[in-house]
């Protein structure tokens, strides 16, 4: 279970959650070929792409990237394949963040990061730097 709520953290003051399971085949011949499946429901709020980014960061960066499968030779770490599912309430900037593992957000508004914007919105706050 991944809890996004963090007391005292402005961007993580919502009760959305995620779950992560590590699945192992029943066939003993390939039992070491595990796969990780994560599921989440990110905040639904077109104006708060910053909150979605923080929630996704907790799930993806702090949890999914810390599930190593064990040590390989020479100290390298092997990670399980990950399938990320869920109701992300997003497209665009956050989707690119997942695919590219980086996000240039200094010129984006919160609604553009959210991915739920349609047309031009006036009065929305820029992303904090």
Sequential pLDDT tens for the chain (129 residues): 889 999 999 999 998 999 988 888 888 888 778 888 889 888 888 888 888 888 988 887 767 666 655 544 555 666 678 888 887 666 567 777 777 777 777 777 777 776 665 544 444 444 444
pLDDT at 75 (0 to 100): 57
Alpha-carbon distance 75 to 81, whole Å? 19
* Exposure of 33 in the CB half-sphere (CA atoms within 13 A): 6
Structure-token match 């990950």, residue found: 82
**For residue 102, what are the contacts with CB-CB under 8 A and spacing of at least 6?**
none
What do you get for the CA distance between the two ends of the chain, in Å? 29
pLDDT at 126 (0 to 100): 46
How far CA 106 is from CA of 66, 109, 110, 113, 127, in Å, comes to 27, 8, 10, 10, 7
List own/partner pairs for 8-14 with CB under 8 A and 24 or more apart.
9/54, 11/50, 11/51, 11/53, 11/54, 12/51, 12/54, 12/55, 12/58, 14/43, 14/51, 14/55
């Amino acid at each position: 279970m991944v809890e996004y709520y963090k007391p005292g953290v402005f961007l993580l003051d919502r009760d959305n959650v995620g779950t992560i399971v590590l699945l192992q085949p029943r066939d003993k011949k390939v039992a070491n070929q595990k796969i990780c499946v994560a599921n989440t429901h990110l905040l639904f709020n077109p104006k708060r792409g910053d909150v979605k980014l923080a929630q996704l960061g907790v799930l993806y960066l702090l949890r999914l990237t810390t599930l190593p499968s064990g040590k390989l030779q020479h100290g390298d770490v092997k990670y399980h394949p990950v399938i990320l599912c869920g109701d992300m309430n997003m497209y665009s900037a956050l989707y690119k963040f997942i695919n590219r593992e980086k996000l240039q957000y200094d010129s984006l508004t919160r609604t553009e990061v959210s991915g739920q914007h349609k047309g031009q919105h006036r009065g929305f706050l820029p992303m904090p730097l």
